[in-house]
Amino acid sequence: MDSIWTESIKLPQFESLEGSRETEVLIIGGGMAGILCAYFLQQEGVDYILAERDKICSGITKSTTAKITSQHGLIYSKLLKSTGQEKTKRYLEANQKAVEKYRELCQNIDCDFETKTAYVYSLNHREKLEREADALEKVGFHASLVKTRELPFDTVGVIGFENQAQFHPLKFVSQIAGNLNIYENTFIKELSEHTALTNKGNIAFKKLIFATHFPMDNKHGMYFLKMYQHRSYAIALENPQKSYKLEGMYVDEAKNGMSFRNYKNFLLLGGGGHRTGKKGGNWQELREFARQYYPDFIEKCNWATQDCMTLDHIPYIGPYAKSMPQCYVAAGFNKWGMTSSMVAAMLLADMVLEKENPYAEVFCPDRSIWKPQLFLNSFEAACNLLTISKRRCPHLGCALKWNHIEHSWDCPCHGSRFDEKGKLLDNPANGNLKK
């Protein structure tokens, strides 16, 4: 169940940390966000350590579909209504700058970087597309509302963002991570004030960045209420009879729709999603779709991923909590992890360096939590805490559900996952199931 990215690349390897170390900045998490943070801090001459409990990019990063874009579904009409014109404009600007930063870095990196138009399509709600186009015009961004003939079914239209991109994420990481100060197989067991206890020593730090996908600290920031996790699936299809090229990148405006992009001669088809711990379409839905619309294609590989979803569709990037000074977080990327990782790294690097950043207020984690999703998250947690089950998540004690498709124990509350033997697969749990 490896993704298409893991088949063609060998990432640099790093030793595990043994004994005691001191550093100015400790970064916990070796996915794209953590590595980019380390990269920018190293460029600025900042003393840092990045600690990864496994191998770099062994979690969510290796399972992305790797679209680099500020076009995040029909988000801008929603943001305009909920946050106002100025914050909506800054959200767009921050993500556009992230796209351009990737473009700049990838000029000298062989990572299959391609400029593409990113499209969001609708099967039957053209009025939603029109509202989105109007919202974008109000914040000074022109997006084309057109029809497309690239998809194998009829739509009522698509909204296109030009000059977006796609790439091979692990090829990119292999080029920028080699000289970074990274320790792999270094498990942060416990945090106290300015000290991280690892499996073989400890790290004293002045500043801390949580880049662990879902934050590992439950005592501050209320992240366990502010986010839930959503599982989604992908398959890589190939037509052995002829080459295949998709000119754009496509996502459905509907919550359970399909996404499309190409990689070389492969079509990457995504969808089948559901809240972690719940039932959904998974690969079966994608395969049925492929049999109907791409009957001449052969499945080459399949994989799944998991995304942290926030209350208001905006990531949490900035100070971790008022009670934790000099600690920062990057979480809740809402299925747009590649672009959001770059936004997070540029923003957090400025914060560590005590530079002002015009986008800090937009992504600040200390914003209102009174959103409808909060009550849904709370209800889900309460139901599963009261559910009788022998298998309980060590994160906060919720009942685990058996995922018969992926053969894992999944937590519907916060998204932790464990294999059949109880080994941790996905956080926020910070350890294996007890036998």
DSSP letters of 372-391?
A: HHHHHHHHHHHHHHHS--S-
Please report, for the chain, the start and end positions of each structural domain, with discontinuous segments joined by +.
Answer: 114-165+228-307, 372-423
Instruction: Give the CATH number of domain 114-165+228-307.
Output: 3.30.9.10
- The tokens for 229 are 């996790």
Residue 1 pLDDT level (bands cut at 50, 70, 90): low
Which residues contact residue 85 at a Cβ distance below 8 angstroms, ignoring those fewer than 6 apart?
138, 139
What 8-state DSSP symbol labels residue 406? T
Residue 33 pLDDT level (bands cut at 50, 70, 90): very high
> CA 363, CA 373: separation in Å to the nearest integer?
18
According to the model, what pLDDT value does residue 135 have? 97
State the average pLDDT over residues 137-147: 94
> Helix 337-352 vs helix 85-105: angle between axes, to the nearest 10 degrees?
100
Lowest mean pLDDT among 16-30, 273-287, 318-332, 382-396: 382-396
According to the model, what pLDDT value does residue 384 have? 82
> CA 200, CA 193: separation in Å to the nearest integer?
19
Which residues contact residue 344 at a Cβ distance below 8 angstroms, ignoring those fewer than 6 apart?
33, 36, 37, 211, 315, 317, 330, 363
According to the model, what pLDDT value does residue 212 have? 96
Under a CB-based contact definition with an 8 Å cutoff, are residues 253 and 260 in contact? no
Q: Please say whether the dihedral angle defined by the alpha carbons of residues 142, 143, 145 and 149, taken in this order, is positive or negative.
A: positive
Q: Please say whether the dihedral angle defined by the alpha carbons of residues 1, 113, 285 and 132, taken in this order, is positive or negative.
A: positive
Under a CB-based contact definition with an 8 Å cutoff, are residues 1 and 138 in contact? no
State the average pLDDT over residues 367-380: 91
Q: Please say whether the dihedral angle defined by the alpha carbons of residues 196, 202, 208 and 213, taken in this order, is positive or negative.
A: negative
According to the model, what pLDDT value does residue 2 have? 85
Pairing of β 201-210 and β 327-331 = parallel
CATH of 372-423 among 2.102.10.10, 3.40.720.10, 3.40.50.150, 3.40.50.300: 2.102.10.10
According to the model, what pLDDT value does residue 266 have? 96
Residue pLDDT, tens place only, 334-367: 999 999 999 999 999 999 999 999 999 999 999 9
Q: Is 20 a residue whose pLDDT tops 80?
A: yes
Residue 256 pLDDT level (bands cut at 50, 70, 90): confident
According to the model, what pLDDT value does residue 383 have? 87
**If you average pLDDT over each of 104-113, 242-251, 394-403, which comes out highest?**
104-113
Strand partners, 424: 418
Residue pLDDT, tens place only, 191-223: 988 999 999 999 999 999 999 999 988 889 999
Per residue in 225-248, is it b (16+ CB within 10 Å) or e — as a string? Answer: bbbbbbbbbbbbbbeeeeebebeb
Residue 240 pLDDT level (bands cut at 50, 70, 90): confident
Whether pTM > 0.75 for this model: the answer is: yes
For the chain, the average pLDDT equals 95
Three-class secondary structure of residue 174 per DSSP? helix
Q: Please say whether the dihedral angle defined by the alpha carbons of residues 130, 132, 134 and 137, taken in this order, is positive or negative.
A: negative
Q: How many residues does the chain have?
A: 435
As separate numbers, helices (DSSP H) first and strands (DSSP E) second, the chain gives 10, 21
State the average pLDDT over residues 296-316: 96
Q: Please say whether the dihedral angle defined by the alpha carbons of residues 414, 420, 424 and 426, taken in this order, is positive or negative.
A: negative
